[in-house]
Structure 1
Amino acid sequence: DASWISNGNVNGLGWSLKDQMGSEYFGLRACNRSLSALHAEMEGLLWATSCMRDMRITSVRFETDCSDLVDMTTNPMEWPTFATEIEMYQRLQEDFEDVSLSHILRSRNGRADALAKKARNRGYIFSHIDQTRSYGGVLRRIGSYIST
């Protein structure tokens, strides 16, 4: 997900991945403000996809509350302004055995949205990837990566 405001200095990006073992991998990043909210959403998708590839995840289903993002990946010819970004996404997809992108309601995208807003509200450029695991219903942090 992305958090973008027209008068802000940075975009916030956020993603969350839950696996079958109860672990959650998540990332939040603040980067230079994009041209538009839709550009920020695409930047978030590209970053999340790159992170999944770097984690050597070969099968992933991305979900977004941005229907335009789904449309531009399924009908790329109708989005010439995003041709470069769409091509980057298509190249990233080649690294996966199974990858999909689907639209979900905003109400189901709360975790990624909260991460994106938290990143934007920090107001400076950074990137943070972390992992938690559930032990008897209690989440515990088991690893992190931060860059500024």
Structure 2
Amino acid sequence: MEDHHFAWILWYIWKGRNNKVFSNLDMDPRDTLKLAETESLLWAEAQNSQNQGMDHTRLPVPVAIPTIPGRWCFTDGSWKNQDIYSGQGWYSTLEGFDGLIGARNTRASQSPLHSEIEALIWAMECMRNLRQFRVTFATDCAQLMKMVSEPEEWPAFASYLEDITFLKTSFNSSEIIHIPRTHNSRADSLARSARKQPLSVVHMDAKLPVWFAESI
């Protein structure tokens, strides 16, 4: 085992202890070890990417550390005035579904913020349907984070926020965190490419759709 793994293992043992003491959440020690090793490897890759430049084929590594054990799901929405469609994209790291992606377009949303929250809701529905019950959802939309944390301040989005609240009951544990836009390039590319399609599209697979164009 690599030396840098030990710090991450100790960190996740401590977090597991806190989850047990304060939230009565149990986690298999083998899952704790696997999660710590995965996060350690992602951290090491992040250091390499800073020296070698961004590699868009790799998982973008968020700067925040989730407070729950589980899987990552990066989400993004794409909206442009007068376009027919809005785009939604997500990229996940799931046990048994590594590198699974989702992309679709829907009738144009009212605003960029509407497209962001619709993308998050779709991603949550997909994770629930895949029976992934411990998920950290990552978004680069700061307004969406404010909306989720202070729902009473956003009455115009009440129905969306009710959907999110309901969906969260489907998970054993979940959270929504904010990441820099530079760490969300894959979900962003998927959403923008779906938005630009001339016809309705929906895609969920480990492979990119034939219509995907990262340069869009």
Partner of 1:65: 140
Cα 1:39–1:22 change in 2 (3 A) is: closer
Partner of 1:37: 112
| Aligned length, in residue pairs | 134
Cα 1:21–1:129 change in 2 (3 A) is: closer
Partner of 2:121: 46
Partner of 2:176: 101
CA contact (8 A) 1:3 1:40 kept: yes
CA contact (8 A) 1:67 1:103 kept: yes
Task: Give 1:126 deviation, angstroms.
Answer: 1.8
Larger Rg: 2
List alignment gaps of at least 5 residues for structure 1.
133-140
- Out of 151, 162, 171, the position equivalent to 1:76 is 151
1:4 and 2:79 matched: yes
SS where residue 206 of structure 2 aligns? strand
Partner of 1:118: 193
Instruction: Map residues 134-145 of structure 1 onto 2, 5 A cutoff.
Output: none
- Please give the alpha-carbon distance, in whole angstroms, between the structure 1 residues aligned to 2:103 and 2:79: 14
SS where residue 109 of structure 2 aligns? coil
CA contact (8 A) 2:97 2:206 kept: no
SS where residue 28 of structure 1 aligns? strand
One-letter identity of the residue aligned with 1:50: E
Task: Give 1:20 deviation, angstroms.
Answer: 5.4
- Please give the alpha-carbon distance, in whole angstroms, between the structure 1 residues aligned to 2:167 and 2:187: 21
- Please give the alpha-carbon distance, in whole angstroms, between the structure 2 residues aligned to 1:36 and 1:22: 32
Q: Please report the RMSD computed on the Cα atoms of aligned residues, expressed in angstroms.
A: 1.6
Cα 1:107–1:59 change in 2 (3 A) is: same
Report the TM-score, using the length of structure 2 for normalisation.
0.59
Partner of 1:130: 205
Query: Moved runs in structure 1, 4+ residues, more than 4 A?
Result: none
1:89 and 2:164 matched: yes
Partner of 1:136: none
CA contact (8 A) 1:30 1:123 kept: no
List alignment gaps of at least 5 residues for structure 2.
1-75, 210-216
Task: Give 1:111 deviation, angstroms.
Answer: 0.5
Partner of 2:53: none
One-letter identity of the residue aligned with 2:166: R
Report the TM-score, using the length of structure 1 for normalisation.
0.86
CA contact (8 A) 1:63 1:104 kept: yes
Greater RCO between the two (CA within 8 Å, min separation 6)?
Answer: 1
